[in-house]
Amino acid sequence: MTKEEGRNNSQFPIPNSQFPIPNSQIMNVIPAIDLLDGKCVRLYQGDYAKSQTFNDNPVAVARQWVNEGATMLHLVDLDGAKAGHPVNQAAIEAIVRAVDVPCQVGGGMRDRTSVAAILNLGVRRAILGTVAVEQPQLVGELCAEFPGQILVGIDARNGKVATRGWLETSAVLATELAQQMAELGAAEIIYTDIHRDGTMEGPNLESLREIAKAISIPVIASGGVSSIADLLSLLALESIGVKSAIVGRAIYTGDVLLKEAIQAVGQGRWQDVPPDLGSSSFA
């Protein structure tokens, strides 16, 4: 979409990012940058009371991950998710301007104005969550207006979708919501098992397999990755549509080295038996 087309389609000019979406034929490792009070933090199982600040300067963090080979960044406005509207726009815009890779952003976008405003910052893709449960028709309208730019984040507790910054749990089954959102035109589904998020206990492969087999659009795995072995385990689901993995706490603690992770499952990845890496993060 060109800038002029963006102006024609909405009251906001939607920039046409010069940066391409990473190759969907390889497993893409996407670093997460969670924003709380303008700082880079990580939560444990989505609990705001259990946050750990890793860096006061999220722009520096974004540049670090890009320098280490990231081809996309996953930004989450935690304040926005809790408040119901975007809060950390200044930090998001600063990151987008500082890096030369596309960014996808989630957190608090529950109406058209919020989505258009976030995309207008230069963000490549907007991630919708709560609104997918509460206003599915709006999701369909946004998918039609901004084709390829709308992702749906499905965050589940025991198979049921959590909303409003994970503070509430609905009666909606994750698989059913994924099917509905795929039919409405979502570009991809981001699936997070809340019980695994921030725990470094490994991804929930069974739930990811169930989601991926239920829909025809790509699935991004999120939550629980603690090692490169965890990322390698996701390759078994690649053929059914799990094309990317979001990695958070593990790259901040050093349990996973981003460069090695990309080498392991990305372009030119290791095959069969990984090399002897000595004291590397492969475990």
Q: pLDDT by residue (tens digit) across 91-100? A: 999 999 999 9
Q: Which of 34, 79, 193, 230 is catalytic?
A: 34
- Could you report the per-residue pLDDT of 153-166, keeping only the tens digit for each? 998 888 889 887 66
Q: pTM for the complete prediction?
A: 0.85
Q: Which of 77, 155, 197, 230 is catalytic?
A: 155
Any domain includes 258: yes
Q: Does residue 138 have a pLDDT over 60?
A: yes
The domain that contains 190 carries what CATH number? 3.20.20.70
Any domain includes 68: yes
Range of the domain at 56: 24-265
Q: How confident is the model at residue 69 (pLDDT cuts 50, 70, 90)?
A: very high
Any domain includes 275: no
Any domain includes 18: no
Q: Does residue 5 have a pLDDT over 60?
A: no
Any domain includes 274: no
**Mean pLDDT of all residues in 31-37:** 96
Number of folded domains in the chain? 1
Any domain includes 123: yes
Mean pLDDT of the chain: 86
Known active-site residue 34:
yes
Q: What is the pLDDT of residue 100?
A: 96
Any domain includes 260: yes
Q: Does residue 120 have a pLDDT over 60?
A: yes
End-to-end CA separation in angstroms for the chain: 43
Any domain includes 38: yes
Q: What is the pLDDT of residue 193?
A: 85
Q: Which residue has the higher pLDDT, 279 or 176?
A: 176
- Could you report the per-residue pLDDT of 211-256, keeping only the tens digit for each? 999 999 999 999 889 999 999 999 999 999 999 999 999 999 999 9
Known active-site residue 100:
no
